[in-house]
Each structure stands twice: as structure tokens, then as C-alpha cells.
Amino acid sequence: MNNEQTSVKIFPLINQNDFVSEDSYFHKVFDNGITDEIRIYLLDGDDYAFIKGEVDTSPLIRIIGGEGKDTFIDESKVNGYFLSITPFKKAEAKTEFYDCDDETIFLKGSGTNINTERLTNPINNNEKYEPTQKDRGHSWGFLPEAGYSTTDGVIIGGMFDLFSYNFRKVPYEYLQRLRFIYAFLPKSYKLEYFGEFIDVLGSTDLVIDIVNSELSFTNYFGFGNENAFDRYLYRDKYYWLEQKLVFINPQIRYNFDEKTSLSLGFFYEFNNSKLRNEELIDSFPHNNYGIGNLQHAGLNFKFLFDSREHEFYPKAGRYINISGSYFNELLDTRDNYLRAEFDFRNYIPFKLPFETTLALRSSGGKVWGKFPFYHAMFIGGEENVRAYTRKRFSGDTSISLQSEVRVKLLKNKILVKGDLGMHLFAETGRVFAANQISDNWHPSFGVGIWASSVNRIFVFSLTYAYGTDEQNIYFDTRMVF
């Protein structure tokens, strides 16, 4: 009608050439000031949809066809400008037609988009008229985090999630997540932003990772697979490393299906590293490369396959993560180098006679080229070989093998319903250093208890890990892997 109002009318179809009548089934005038979007479902039968008018502002009009021979005609125009900020006039795309029938007729206008994607029909009326998948609005949530480790002491934090839902955006239009944790022993923090914007271009998503952290490194034990550990020196902070990290990584992600994706992106990284005893870096083959302020930039990729049935406590499924980063000879990077990593996991459920999950994991990586010490491959800590302090061993190449048996012992019916159980694990790992010959593997064994509730959204685990010359305790709000 005009910039302030949009009129929607539904008429009986007289014949294929005449669908205009004064006897309308439905007529409503929408206020453009409070209307962002209008969705019209044609349902079954042979239908005509006709849009006309020229305005400067308009809500988005979506018309969704059904079974039958439908005709979509767009003679409307919403005046706009190229990229919204340039002085070049270009009609805005404010009309969306949806129909996958081969006999459907589309007559496009200057701002028409056509979607012929074929969707699965609802299996029942509940799914058809009351779908569980949201298609409008927002929601947010907060998940607290708490933990403990011998390395970091008490850890507290939380995660805020903001979800936006829109038409045919599965599982959501976007997720924006802000996570903060603070470790009391090193008095350091980690702040993360994660943004996931679905189907920005076709089936391609935009993913943004931003990290500001003082917890990536808190100690450095030297380069190689034979690093000695002295608990008295450790308590006196002989190995102390202070590092500040800023990492920015926008990526484009292509989804092959619901479980498989490939991400490509570029990154910027800033590191400020101060080592209390710089003689610890004498074993590093590239001298003191990594000490002080350094900036890096490059390209990265990630291939992900994830069929796990739960994120925090998986009982079945597989997880494959293969990633790589190319550091270009820009900024403070002395030479081009490449890092590649893998993470393979398999979860096998069975009864023994208790409900049991066997969790298996293999992970590692390799660096090619001349790299700063903090971009070596590491093992040790909660990420892999748990009996040893975080990032205890470093080299050009790393590998770790982990196996864990998780047994549900009983159901908790007090206050909050959930499960209680225990876990036993055995794992080992090592690094390979170009300037060192070593046959040692670093075994780690342990036991723990866990509890879960609210469909495993809340998971608590307490773990004791024992190794050759170290032992560590962890408390987490999820299973480690």
C-alpha cells in the first residue's frame, strides 16, 4: 500500500486468468512500523500469489507453496541502495517464494528470491502445527562452570548463550556465546567469544572465534620428551611462564550434512610471553623465539565429523577433528611454518551388567618449519595425558592414546534426578623432538566418580590421575572427552 502499511488479501480463485474478486476470505492491513515479516502459507490446491506496489520500506514477505500447481508473481519494488550504504540505487530483496513442485510458475521481480529446496513432510499434525524447531524470536541461557586442577587450583566461570531463531534456520539463525573462567592459583583468566551464523550464503555458515587468555600457558618445562619435573621447584614457580594471548579467527563453514563440515578461515594472533627462568628455553632449537611480544597471521582449516549423541557426556558415536594452520611470513613470523592436528574419538556403549561406555581417543599433531616455542606440540594435563602438568612435554610431533571405561552405578532420585557412576582410565603419550633421541612413553592411570542430571546438561566429575613422577586431581563440569 505505502511505506507505513502492507495489505494482505486472500480471494477465491475464479479461473486460471482471474483471481481478483471483491469477496475476500481474509483481509488485514499490517503496520510496517511493528511488522518485520509476513509469512503466507498457500497449502494444497492450485494457488496464485500476486505481490504489487512500489515503496521505500517494507516488511519481508515470505510465501510458501504447497501441493498443487502454484503461480507466484512479484511486481513489487522496494527502493534501496547497493550494500545499503552506497549511493547506487538497487531494489531490496523483500520477497521470498518457496515451492519445490516442478509445475510451479515463478515470475520474478527486481527484489525476488526463489527457494526450491525440497523439505521432508511432517510425520504428524503435532510436528506440522506445533513444531519443536523454533522459527522466530530469541532465547538466552547461562551455564555456570566450576572446577579444580592441581595446576590451576579452583576454577570458576560461566557461559552466556544468546540464540536467535528464524524461518527455516536449523537449529537456529545464530548463536552468540560469551564464556569467562578464572583460575585462582595462577590468578589468570580466559575470555572467549564464539559466534555462529547459520546459512549466511546458501548452506555456508559464518563462524567467529575470539579469545583473550592468560591461561594458555602458565608453566614451561623445556623442549623434548625427557623433561624433568621437580615438585619443589614447581612450588617455587621455577617453571613459571606468563603469557597473554589474543586470537581472532573468522571462518566460513560448509556443511556436508548435519554431522560433517569443513571450515576455512584466516586468523590474527598476538602473544606476550615472559619466562621467569629463560635457561629453560635453551633446549629449544630455535633459540628464544617466542619470548616477548609477537604477532602472527595466516590461514587455517578444520574438518569435523561429529556423530556423538551428547556434547558434555557422550555415550555413543564418533568424533573426528582434523585441523591445520599455515603461519605466513608476515608481522613477527620469521619463516613460514605449518601446524596440523588430529583428534579421533569413539564411544562404544554396552552392559556389563551395568550400563557402560568405553571411550577411546587418539590425538596428536606435527609442526613443520621454524616456529616459536609456544606453537610446539604438547602433551600433559586435562587435554590428554592427565597425570602430568599441563603442557609438560613439547616437541615437533606429539601423540597420545586414551581409553576410559565409564560405568553407571545407580540412579539419583534425591532432589534432582540423574545418574551416578565411576570411571577408570589408562592413557599414554609422548612427543618427538628433532634434536633428541628418546624411547620413553609417559603412562597415566586413574579413577574417578561422576554425576549427571537434567539429560546430562549438568555433569560433574572428580578424577585422580597417577603417572611416573606426577599425580594430579581434576574436578570438572563435563567429562574430559
Report how far residue 339's alpha carbon sits from residue 357's, in angstroms, rounded to the nearest whole number: 32
Report how far residue 183's alpha carbon sits from residue 146's, in angstroms, rounded to the nearest whole number: 10
Contacts of 108 (CB under 8 A, 6+ apart): 74, 114
**Does residue 118 carry a pLDDT above 90?**
no
The mean pLDDT value for 432-445 works out to: 92
Domain end, chosen from 93, 119, 145, is at: 119
Q: With beta carbons less than 8 A apart as the criterion, state whether 459 and 479 touch.
A: yes
pLDDT of residue 86: 53
Same domain, 334 and 450: yes
pLDDT of residue 94: 83
The mean pLDDT value for 359-369 works out to: 97
The mean pLDDT value for 436-465 works out to: 91
Contacts of 459 (CB under 8 A, 6+ apart): 312, 313, 450, 451, 452, 476, 477, 478, 479
Whether 391 maps to a domain, the answer reads: yes
Average pLDDT over the chain, rounded to an integer: 90
pLDDT winner (highest mean) among 165-169, 350-354, 462-466: 462-466
Q: With beta carbons less than 8 A apart as the criterion, state whether 78 and 91 touch.
A: yes
pLDDT of residue 304: 98
pLDDT winner (highest mean) among 138-142, 264-268, 286-290: 264-268
- How big is the CA angle at 14 (ends 8 and 17), to the nearest 5 degrees? 90
Q: With beta carbons less than 8 A apart as the criterion, state whether 217 and 272 touch.
A: no
Pick the range with the lowest mean pLDDT from 46-55, 109-118, 123-132, 248-257: 123-132
Domain end, chosen from 119, 142, 175, is at: 119
Same domain, 466 and 317: yes
**Does residue 116 carry a pLDDT above 90?**
no
Whether 372 maps to a domain, the answer reads: yes
* Strand spans (E) along 389-457: 393-395, 397-412, 418-432, 442-453
pLDDT-derived band at 213 (thresholds 50, 70, 90) equals very high
CB atoms within 10 A of CB 411: 9
pLDDT-derived band at 353 (thresholds 50, 70, 90) equals confident
Pair type for strands 418-432 and 397-412: antiparallel
Three-state SS at 129: helix
Domain end, chosen from 99, 119, 139, is at: 119
Whether 48 maps to a domain, the answer reads: yes
The mean pLDDT value for 16-44 works out to: 79
CB atoms within 10 A of CB 101: 14
Q: Read off the pLDDT of residues 51-101 as tens digits, 9 standing for 90 and up.
A: 988 888 889 999 998 888 888 999 888 886 555 555 555 567 789 999 988
Whether 465 maps to a domain, the answer reads: yes
Pick the range with the lowest mean pLDDT from 280-284, 385-389, 455-459: 455-459
Candidates 414, 440, 416; CA nearest to 428 is: 440
Q: With beta carbons less than 8 A apart as the criterion, state whether 345 and 385 touch.
A: no
pLDDT of residue 377: 97
The mean pLDDT value for 391-413 works out to: 93
The mean pLDDT value for 327-350 works out to: 95
Pick the range with the lowest mean pLDDT from 19-23, 106-110, 138-142, 314-318: 19-23
pLDDT winner (highest mean) among 119-123, 284-288, 335-339, 414-418: 335-339
pLDDT-derived band at 430 (thresholds 50, 70, 90) equals very high
Total domain count, the chain:
2
- How big is the CA angle at 162 (ends 210 and 452), to the nearest 5 degrees? 95
**Does residue 22 carry a pLDDT above 80?**
no
Top pLDDT among 455 and 191 is at: 191
pLDDT of residue 358: 97
Pick the range with the lowest mean pLDDT from 182-191, 245-254, 386-395, 450-459: 450-459
**Does residue 400 carry a pLDDT above 60?**
yes
Residue range of the domain that includes 364: 217-242+309-476
pLDDT of residue 164: 94
The 8 Å CB, 24+ separation contacts for 188-197 are 188/213, 188/214, 188/215, 188/218, 189/213, 189/214, 189/215, 190/157, 190/214, 190/215, 190/216, 197/173
Whether 300 maps to a domain, the answer reads: no
Helix (H) or strand (E) holding 253: strand 241-255
pLDDT of residue 223: 94
Q: What is the CATH number of the domain that holds 354?
A: 2.40.160.50
**Does residue 293 carry a pLDDT above 70?**
yes
Taken in order 357, 365, 399, 332, the sign of the CA dihedral is negative
Say what the pTM is. 0.85
The torsion of the CA quartet 467, 470, 471, 472, rounded to 10 degrees, works out to -120
Candidates 114, 392, 80, 33; CA nearest to 241 is: 392
Top pLDDT among 132 and 275 is at: 275
**In a 10 Å sphere around its CB, with 0-12 CB exposed, 13-18 middle and 19+ buried, how is residue 56 labelled?**
exposed
Q: Which three cell numbers stand for residue 340?
A: 596440523
pLDDT of residue 362: 98
pLDDT of residue 212: 98
What Rg value do the Cα atoms of the chain yield, rounded?
29
pLDDT of residue 14: 64
Whether 291 maps to a domain, the answer reads: no
Same domain, 461 and 345: yes
